Amino acid sequence: MKETPMKFIKKLYANKKMNYLMKEWVEPIIIAVILALIIRTFVVQAFKIPTGSMRPTLMEGDRLLVNKFIYKFKKPERGDVIVFISPEDRKKDFIKRLVALQGEDVEISNGTIFIDGRAVDSDSIMKERYYYNRGEFGKEGEVLKVPVDSYYVLGDNSISSRDSRYWGFLSKKDLIGKAFLIYWPPTRFRLIK
C-alpha cells in the first residue's frame, strides 16, 4: 500500500517533534544525571548529621558537604573532621575528628589528648574539649600506638560519642572524605574547622 502525502507529512512532523524533544529535553537531562552521579561519587557528597556526637561543631540535623577527592592529593591532618565507613556497621557512615595519625602514640588523660607524650597544640580545637576515658581503646593511663594506614578518631562531644575509644583504629581504606561546609540550616552556614 502506497503512503499518501498527508501520512508522510504527519510522520515527518512527528519525527521532527521527537527529535526536538530528544535534543532539547532528554539529552540534557541524561547528561545532568550522569554529571551528578560522577560528582557525587568522586568529588562532593552531602551528608546529614543524625546524632549529637560532634556537638558543638556539628548539630543534629546539620547538612554538610564532604570533599571526597582531597585525600588523593594531600594526607589527612590532625584536627580534620572526616567522614568514613563505620567499623561496626559497614552500611553506615560516621563523622568524627581525626586525632592521631599512623605511627603516633595517643593517650587520653584527665580530659586531655596526648600525642607522643605531649598535649595537643594550644591552637587546636581539641585543646578546648574535654575527652573522657571510655571503652577498650580509651582507658586512663593507656598509651596506644596507631598502626600503619590507620587513624584514631574522636567525637567532639566525648561523653556521647561512639568512636575509636570503643572500636579501635580507623583503617585508611574506609576514609570517605573531609567535611568542609555546613550548608543547612541557613543560620548555621559556615566552613567547618
Which residues are known to be catalytic?
Answer: 53, 96
**SS3 state at 107:** strand
Residue 123, class by beta-carbon neighbours within 10 Å (0-12 exposed, 13-18 middle, 19+ buried)?
exposed
Longest CA–CA separation in the chain, Å: 94
Sign, CA torsion 121/123/129/135: negative
Q: Is 187 exposed, middle or buried (0-12, 13-18, 19+ CB in 10 A)?
A: exposed
